[in-house]
Amino acid sequence: MIKPELILLIRLLVLVFMSILFVQSAMDKMLNYKDNQQWIDGYFAKSFVKGQSKILLLLLTLLECSAGVLCLMGIFFSKKIINPVGFYGLFLCSITFLSLFLGQRIAKDYAGAANIPSYFVVCLIGLMTYLV
């Protein structure tokens, strides 16, 4: 049997990790919108979603910002036994990783897509702490 303190520690570490990752990434997209838009235009230039890059960037920014803020809030509510905020934050992180993975596969960036599963696994570990 795993001690509840260890489960809470793992949960906190994953929430902090995801908060840093997604809050910083969303802020970068908001502060450097034009640069990110140009990069995404080029990234998807040879794919079937090439005309949709503006909406894709907006959706990705919203996903990242929401996931990061919910994880950040989940840190502050982590002492509660039932903490749906952190759970929903990690769930949104997993949806974001799946979206990023899909985008990289569509763009045929297979090397980039190969990096996403490691982040996804960390997220799943965090989600599993809510099931124990």
DSSP letter assigned to residue 80: S
pLDDT of the residue at 80: 66
Q: pLDDT tens digits for 26-64?
A: 999 999 999 999 999 999 999 999 889 899 999 999 999
DSSP letter assigned to residue 50: G
Quote the pTM value.
0.92
Q: pLDDT tens digits for 71-106?
A: 999 998 877 656 789 999 999 999 999 999 999 999
Whether 124 has a pLDDT exceeding 70, the answer reads yes
Extract long-range pairs of 95-102: CB within 8 Å, 24+ residues apart: 95/63, 95/67, 96/22, 96/60, 96/63, 96/64, 96/67, 97/123, 99/59, 99/60, 99/63, 100/60
DSSP letter assigned to residue 109: -
Q: For residues 108 and 102, give the distance between their C-alpha atoms in angstroms, rounded to a whole number.
A: 10
Whether 112 has a pLDDT exceeding 70, the answer reads yes
Q: Are 18 and 67 in contact (CB under 8 A)?
A: yes
